[in-house]
A and B are shown apart, each in its own frame.
Chain A
Amino acid sequence: MTSKEYKTITDIKGPLVFLEKTEPVAYGEIVSIRLSDGSEKNGQVLDTSDDMVVVQVFEGTEAIDRKAGVKFLGDVFKLPVSKGLIGRILDGAGRPRDGGPEIIADEDADIIGAAINPYSRQSPHDFIQTGVSAIDCCTTLVRGQKLPIFSASGLPHNDIALQIARQAKLRDSDEEFIVVFCAMGITAEEYNFFRSDLERTGALENAALFVNLADDPAVERLITPRLALTAAEYLAFEHDYHVLVIYTDMTNYCDSLRQIGAAREEVPGRRGYPGYMYTDLAMLYERAGIVKGKKGSITQFPILTMPGDDITHPIPDLSGYITEGQIVISRELHQAGIYPPINVLPSLSRLMGSCIGEKTTRDDHKKVSDQMYAAYAQGRELRGLVAIVGEDALNERDLQLLKFADIFEDKFLRQDRDEDRTIDETLNLCWDLMTSIDTKYLVRLDQELIEKYHPEEKKE
């Protein structure tokens, strides 16, 4: 392959370098740039023609001048993968960050990742018990799902993600998850929090970390999740692991995407984000799932912080259109001192229907979940009314629902950071809490279930 060094840079703009008079360069090819002080930077070809090549530089263009030498390495970006990735910490471009040796590769995998043929997918249907009541009961997680956490700055999304990573298991099975953790532009403090928690619980030995911190190059963030997912795919589909990918924070990723778009003078879409952001995000999120004939699976937990707590912001909005539901963290609940502050009302798990019921969780799960949800929703609505007209204007049913909303938050949502509730415990808790409402108002439950489970109406 050509290893000729070009010194034909014409323009340098933001993270982009433009150069001319090259031999034919491949689209997506990896580029190495040698600076006058001898240091090197890496990049990738974004646009190529006979006259002009545009290179996106991962480490930023700082200190690059027109005399810098540019080499095209003849290949697209690849990650060396092997089982040796487990237990390692790598930086945002896939180099060891833990002082350990280079990864000895079994193969080099293309990080862009090909789309899974929809025909070859297998529908996810294995219930994952997270031990968090709000999730297990109301937005049940399924193995192979992509379920983001929609949070905002100042909220404990990291604690929730870690609690899920610690506790997630299949019921009646000791198969564990391997965690692939991908940090994009988070602070060193947040990263240390994740790392020390994974260390404390021993999960670090079963994890691979890809870390791009807030002071690492922003453009590198565009490849970090692709590296993490490439590692996840290799471990899941070549070595039968069940992989849980946690990546945080998607908002930083999208901002890097916007930065590149702006530097290329592309026509921006909403709020300056590029028009192809949906496709770009899909190429990450869609790398979750299970395929026929392979034992492993990839479950994704992306975390994103909604700018201004706004769920209609392009980042949560486009994510919500791709992912299979979302877990929404509420500032209001957090301020009320409730952990985990999950607002179940806008939260959703699209795959829930396929994994709950008699055979997997319990026969009453669906109806109990609907009833809890409906009663809580009505109770919350009544709070607004009470603020205007006072409790006296409420009838008996409304009063019960109003009280139930408080009970729901205090007893059902609230749990300790280390409290791991089984699905049976969660559902029994639901029944206990629902005794505060007259059974005649529990219209979403049928008589049969009431007789089977209701603590006061049970017929043994």
Chain B
Amino acid sequence: MSKNEGVIYRISGPVVTATGIEARMYEVVRVGHEKLMGEVIEIHGEQSVIQVYEDTSGIRPGEPVLSTGQTLSVQLGPGLLTQIYDGIQRPLKTLEEVMGVFITRGVDADGLDLEKKWEFVPTASTGDEVKGGQVIGTVQETDTITHKIMVPPKASGKIKSIKSGEFNVTQTVCKLDDGTEIQMMQEWPVRHPRPYSQKYAPDTPLVTGMRILDFLFPLAKGGAAGIPGPFGSGKTVTQQSLAKYSDAQLVVYIGCGERGNEMTEVLDEFPHLIDPNTGKPLMNRTVMIANTSNMPVAAREASVYTGITIAEYFRDQGYDVALMADSTSRWAEAMREISSRLEEMPGEEGYPAYLSSRLAEFYERAGRVETLNGEDGSVTVIGAVSPPGGDISEPVSQGTLRIVKVFWGLDAGLARQRHFPAINWLSSYSLYPQSLNQWFRDNIASDFPEVRTQISALLKVEAELQEIVQLVGSDALPIDQQLTLEVARMIREYFLQQNGFDPIDAYSGVQQQYAMAQAILTFQEEAKKAMAAGARLQDVVNVPARTELMRARFAEGYLEKIGGLVEAMVVEIAETAEAN
């Protein structure tokens, strides 16, 4: 018989030690008279060490501790979308109703609205043999998302009865012949990955609409990417752009230990923004987790698990889900803070020795899978990293880079030049092009990978030439190298720079990206020809049609116009040769 009531022995910040309970690791307990939520993270003989998700000021030794027998779980079912939660899935809106504008403590709130009725449409019938993960019905949760109700992963059997009509999430909609009752809501422990049939190799890109990402450093659906960068280099803007424009069907956005005003901005903005892929408000496909930097540190630690479990749940319904975690460094710091309170032997820079394995476990929950229902679903994870001083030799950056296959390195120097997105094209990499090339060839252009190679080669040559320019000035270079510099400048200013705040420029389809890259190569080609025929570089560069070509990307319908603009440029460049 396990004892479920004990007393507090010691309190040190968010870490509380209790005696007299026989709790399991990671079991949820209630601490003190106010019943603050906590989780058992260590057991020493009679003592259980608990991390508490709320402020512990004023709590005394001797107050009661109750064990609940459950591990930290989230409620999954209709009602998740458009929600904004704290790190332990309490809806912030409900917290506001109960506590006012400041978050105090001791309030319990359900993750889902237990009263709201949803229209349940069964897709299975009485007598069907069903197994865990199989879809038995649907709920139209928002305009764009059909929520699929699944048999809980561990249940299976023959359907004895299944209902149709309006139910709340706790009412039974289906019974199996072994007596299992299935409701629309299921719970899942956050630290456990949800099961699937098998993992596939990714072969489809996650189209983000950001030219430098899709074109040079593509991320696959089901892949994992890390974005390290010092403060002010645009991590959050990049993450928000991805949340807005990427072609995932669902987005889980975790604001982990970041600024309160940033979350507010997302909350203000998303309901009014239209998803370019569906034409509906972005909020309809979004779940947000906001555990800002001044909210309890233990809940911050839990927030990434809460987020990824929700993402996996939608993946299991056959959706492509993108998860943004901003910032994983704050998550790692939460681990460090808890670990130091536990007086554990520290690893590098005070981080616990298990930091890299925790990071690996987290990113490993990304992937493209065959769901238990036999469908294709994916979770793509994009983690921001905030290295101290921008130096990525620190443990969190290094631990992340060992796992992720895409590295988008943000650069303070570029940000200072107002080159946005400030992603460094020399240090960034993606290991996916090989597996994605076929998709690009089939869907965009048969020579897509070759065009990409040419563009990145030009950027590499530019970097080498710039070193010489720094010493002798650009006029000292031979004229063909000066042209290369101009072409590279066009790549940087016209192609790589993208204004995330401009309603049109913020999103470029891959087709348009390809057309723009081609336009640059055409310019290079034509300029070479004209200069061979005697044209001056300056005249070639300054043809008005080229300026027009570059400026027009801020106007609507650019993809349709670009062909004509390139033709006009070709004609004008040819004229510069004739003028001489």
Residues of A within 8 A of B (CB): 24-29, 46-50, 75-76, 110, 112-124, 144-145, 237, 266-270, 275-276, 278-279, 282-283, 286-287, 289, 291-294, 311-314, 317-318, 320-322, 324-326, 345-346, 348, 350-351, 353-354, 370, 373-374, 377, 385, 388-389, 393-395
Q: Known interface pairs A28-B57, A275-B336, A321-B231. Does A312 touch B294 (Cβ–Cβ under 8 Å)?
A: no
- B497 → chain A closest CB, angstroms: 11
| Contact for A346 among B261, B340, B416, CB less than 8 A | B416
B102 contacts A279, C-beta separation under 8 Å: no
Q: Is B10 an interface residue (CB 8 A)?
A: yes
B337 contacts A279, C-beta separation under 8 Å: yes
B56 contacts A27, C-beta separation under 8 Å: yes
Q: Known interface pairs A49-B10, A117-B95, A120-B101. Does A25 touch B350 (Cβ–Cβ under 8 Å)?
A: no
* Interface contacts beyond A279-B257, A348-B232: sample of 8 additional A-B pairs, CB < 8 Å, sorted by A: A27-B12, A27-B56, A49-B11, A278-B333, A282-B294, A317-B230, A324-B261, A374-B417
The residues of A that contact B45 with a CB separation of less than 8 Å are: none
Q: Is B460 an interface residue (CB 8 A)?
A: no
| Contact for A123 among B264, B336, B346, CB less than 8 A | B264
CA distance A208 to B390 in the complex (A): 37
| Contact for B261 among A121, A314, A320, CB less than 8 A | A121
26 example contacts (A-B, Cβ-Cβ < 8 A) are as follows A47-B10, A50-B9, A76-B58, A112-B57, A115-B102, A115-B295, A116-B102, A117-B103, A118-B255, A118-B260, A119-B84, A119-B95, A237-B101, A269-B350, A276-B340, A278-B293, A279-B293, A279-B297, A286-B259, A292-B101, A312-B389, A317-B231, A320-B231, A321-B386, A324-B261, A393-B473
The residues of A that contact B84 with a CB separation of less than 8 Å are: 118-119
For chain A, what secondary structure do more than half of its interface residues adopt (helix, strand, loop), or is it mixed?
A: mixed
- B86 → chain A closest CB, angstroms: 9
Q: Known interface pairs A76-B57, A117-B101. Does A123 touch B265 (Cβ–Cβ under 8 Å)?
A: yes
Closest 5 CB pairs of A and B: A312-B389, A49-B10, A282-B293, A28-B57, A119-B92
B60 contacts A389, C-beta separation under 8 Å: no
CA distance A140 to B441 in the complex (A): 46
B473 contacts A351, C-beta separation under 8 Å: no
Q: Is B475 an interface residue (CB 8 A)?
A: yes
CA distance A48 to B386 in the complex (A): 34
A27 contacts B59, C-beta separation under 8 Å: yes
Of chain B, the residue at the smallest CB distance from A292 is: B101
| Contact for B416 among A47, A119, A377, CB less than 8 A | A377
Q: Is B472 an interface residue (CB 8 A)?
A: yes
Of chain A, the residue at the smallest CB distance from B300 is: A279
CA distance A33 to B388 in the complex (A): 40
Q: Is B93 an interface residue (CB 8 A)?
A: yes
Of chain B, the residue at the smallest CB distance from A325 is: B232
The residue in A26, A311, A313 that gathers the most chain B C-beta atoms within 10 A of its C-beta is A26
The residues of A that contact B12 with a CB separation of less than 8 Å are: 27, 46-48
The residues of A that contact B263 with a CB separation of less than 8 Å are: 118, 121
A373 contacts B11, C-beta separation under 8 Å: no
CA distance A350 to B264 in the complex (A): 14
| Contact for B340 among A49, A266, A291, CB less than 8 A | A266
Q: Is B150 an interface residue (CB 8 A)?
A: no
The residue in A47, A114, A275, A345 that gathers the most chain B C-beta atoms within 10 A of its C-beta is A275
| Contact for A374 among B10, B230, B294, B418, CB less than 8 A | B418
